């Protein structure tokens, strides 16, 4: 069934900030927002002024102190969050095209996953509200020692553009479930769909001010937000460079706790005992072409055992060449656009430098022809690269896969771990003992065996090692990261 839509039929409201339960027009500069699928200037973003960032945080703090959300009966809080999730599901016909319009996600994927998954994430974190809290400690018998969990107050969240609704839901849901208020700054490239979530939260009964949104660029809006003295915790998803700047800002103005979900350069290791090379090739190809490679956990480094390498590489080339690029509103497209022309130039620059220094493009290697003016890149497979090549070391954030060969198992782990990143890793093998050795040996926050990518099991946390981040999204850990623990010791 086709879910395509006409992008010109979608209207974007003029005011894009959300403070105190309603849309507010930003008072700072305006910025054009383009559709990556065709480069069309479809809306203008009204950025928040410094005074409005201040207002949003103060309002959020006021809601934390006085709205009753943090102190509400846990079951009442759960009911509001469940109602909110139901409203999101019911808003599919409005929300899905809005998300697809200005992002890189195809409408079919958004309808099949992003909207319902974001709603389910809200339900998932609501379930912790009356089930997870402090603990009674074992002390000497004349005392009672226990911990109580309390919200931080105002949580500042900064989101990236690559999956706008889902990445924001990962931040908003645990923070609000835990009783905090939140001020979110979405990416300036994909600012609009998330406002709908805030409107639905109010409709569900979330008190005004518990979820505020300020819009604009990182340096002008994100930086003062994370530095604000009333912000008790910061949670960020984005590049490693921005994450480090945010951590420094938090140290200078707090210190305050930070959760950082950052970049990656994740390996996919294919051993020669992999049972089904066709199936594995489909998994490996999808892991770097999903969302045109603009996924933090994109499997961007293929490490393949030398005696199956040629046949495996042929399968990857076939899979790459079968892709049909197309706009996000065409549900038949199999690969979407790159978020912006500057980002496409960055990807192409890295590919051209790799080719100039001896790499070979076995597939792709240039921008993809597109019927409109959109920013599309051909799925690219680069061979003749080494572990110190820029294209192997640095995150490209596009549909570009490098391939290197290995002969021994330990060599594969050494190559996989030779990276400043440690977000995820994939291993394909038919040998259970090897699979277990790999999960121990690989320096990554997540190791997938004979699959690549998350399941819908939100109980499994996600987060990076090394320069891929600090702390976790999802799982019990993300809920607990939005609470601080107070100790009580009573003597009698």
In the complex, which residues of this chain contact ligand NAD (CB under 6 A)?
A: 158-162, 167, 185, 187-188, 217-219, 222-223, 226, 237-239, 242, 245-246, 261-264, 296, 395, 397, 423, 464, 469
Show the tokens assigned to 108: 């079919």
Q: Taking the complex as a whole, how short is the minimal distance between the CB of residue 185 and ligand NAD, in angstroms?
A: 6
Catalytic annotation, pick one of 55, 99, 188, 261: 261
Q: Which helix (H) or strand (E) holds 286?
A: helix 277-289
Beta bridge partners of 71: none
State yes or no: is 296 an active-site residue.
yes
CB 120 within 8 A of CB 127: no
Residue 153 vs 263, nearer CB to ligand NAD: 263
Contact criterion met (CB below 8 Å) for 381 and 401: yes
Strand pairing of 465-466 and 446-449? Answer: unpaired
C-beta of 156: minimal distance to ligand NAD in Å?
9
Q: Which two tokens stand for residue 91?
A: 């808003």
Q: Which is nearer to ligand NAD, 87 or 335 (CB)?
A: 335
CB of 310 to ligand NAD, least distance (A): 31
- Tell me the closest approach of the beta carbon of residue 205 to ligand NAD, in angstroms: 28
- Per-residue tokens: 469: 């981040």
- Identity of the residue, 220 or 317, whose beta carbon is nearer to ligand NAD in the bound complex: 220
Compute the residue count for the chain. Answer: 492
109 is catalytic: no
Question: How many CB atoms sit inside 10 A of residue 431's CB?
Answer: 13
**Which residue in the block uniquely carries the two structure tokens 């980002």?**
343
- Is the CB of 258 or the CB of 304 nearer to ligand NAD? 258
Strand pairing of 483-491 and 143-151? antiparallel
For ligand NAD, the closer of residues 379 and 464 by Cβ is 464
Catalytic residue among 47, 121, 250, 296: 296
- Neighbouring residues of 16: CB distance < 8 A, sequence distance ≥ 6: 23, 26, 45, 46, 191, 192, 195, 213, 215
Q: Which residue is nearest to ligand NAD (CB)?
A: 218
- Residue 238: left (phi > 0), alpha (psi -120 to 50), or beta? left
**Which of 155, 230, 207, 84 has the alpha carbon at shortest distance from 483?**
155
What angle separates helix 115-126 from helix 74-90, to the nearest 10 degrees?
Answer: 170
Q: How far is the CB of 289 from ligand NAD (least distance, A)?
A: 16
Question: What CA–CA distance (Å, rounded) separates 192 from 280?
Answer: 37
CB of 181 or CB of 240, closer to ligand NAD? 240
> Nearest distance from residue 105's CB to ligand NAD, in Å?
13
Query: What is the set of active-site residues?
Result: 261, 296
């Amino acid at each position: 069934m086709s879910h395509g839509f006409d992008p010109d039929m979608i209207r974007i409201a003029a005011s894009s900030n959300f403070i105190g339960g309603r849309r507010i027009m930003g008072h700072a500069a305006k910025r054009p927002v383009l559709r990556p699928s065709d480069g069309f200037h479809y809306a203008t973003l009204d950025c928040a002024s410094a005074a409005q960032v201040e207002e949003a945080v103060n309002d959020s703090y006021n809601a934390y102190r006085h709205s009753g959300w943090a102190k509400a009966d846990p079951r009442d809080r759960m009911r509001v969050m469940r109602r909110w999730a139901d409203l999101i599901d019911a808003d599919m016909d409005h929300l899905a095209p809005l998300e697809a319009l200005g992002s890189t996600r195809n409408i079919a994927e958004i309808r099949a996953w992003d909207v319902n998954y974001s709603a389910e994430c809200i339900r998932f974190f609501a379930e912790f509200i009356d089930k997870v809290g402090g603990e009674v400690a074992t002390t000497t018998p004349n005392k009672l020692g226990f911990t109580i969990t309390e919200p931080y107050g105002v949580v500042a969240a900064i989101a990236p553009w690559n999956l706008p609704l889902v990445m924001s839901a990962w931040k908003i849901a645990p923070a609000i479930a835990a009783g905090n208020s939140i001020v979110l700054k979405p990416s300036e490239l994909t600012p609009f769909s998330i406002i709908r979530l805030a409107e639905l939260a109010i409709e569900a009964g979330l008190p005004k001010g518990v979820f505020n949104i300020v819009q604009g660029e990182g340096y002008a809006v994100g930086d003062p937000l994370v530095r604000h003295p009333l912000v008790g915790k910061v949670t960020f998803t984005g590049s490693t460079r921005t994450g480090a700047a945010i951590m420094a800002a938090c140290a200078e103005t707090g210190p305050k706790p930070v959760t950082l979900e950052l970049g990656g350069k994740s390996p996919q290791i294919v051993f020669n005992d992999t049972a089904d090379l066709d199936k594995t090739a489909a998994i490996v190809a999808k892991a770097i072409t999903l969302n045109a490679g603009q996924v933090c956990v994109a499997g961007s480094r293929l490490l393949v055992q030398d005696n199956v390498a040629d046949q495996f590489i042929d399968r990857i080339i076939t899979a790459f060449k079968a892709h049909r690029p197309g706009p996000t509103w065409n549900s038949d497209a199999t690969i979407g656009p790159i978020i912006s022309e500057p980002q496409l130039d960055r990807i192409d620059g890295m590919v051209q430098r790799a080719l100039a220094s001896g790499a070979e493009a076995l597939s792709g290697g240039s921008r993809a022809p597109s019927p409109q003016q959109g920013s599309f890149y051909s799925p690219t497979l680069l061979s003749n690269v080494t572990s110190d090549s820029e294209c192997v070391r640095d995150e490209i954030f596009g549909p570009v896969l490098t391939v290197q060969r290995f002969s021994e198992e330990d060599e594969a782990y050494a190559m996989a771990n030779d990276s400043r990143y440690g977000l995820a890793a994939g291993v394909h093998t038919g040998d259970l003992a090897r699979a277990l050795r790999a999960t121990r040996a690989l320096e990554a926050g997540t190791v997938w065996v004979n699959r690549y990518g998350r399941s819908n099991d939100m109980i499994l946390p996600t987060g990076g090692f090394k320069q891929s981040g600090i702390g976790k999204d999802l799982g019990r850990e993300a809920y607990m990261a939005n609470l601080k623990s107070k100790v009580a010791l009573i003597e009698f």
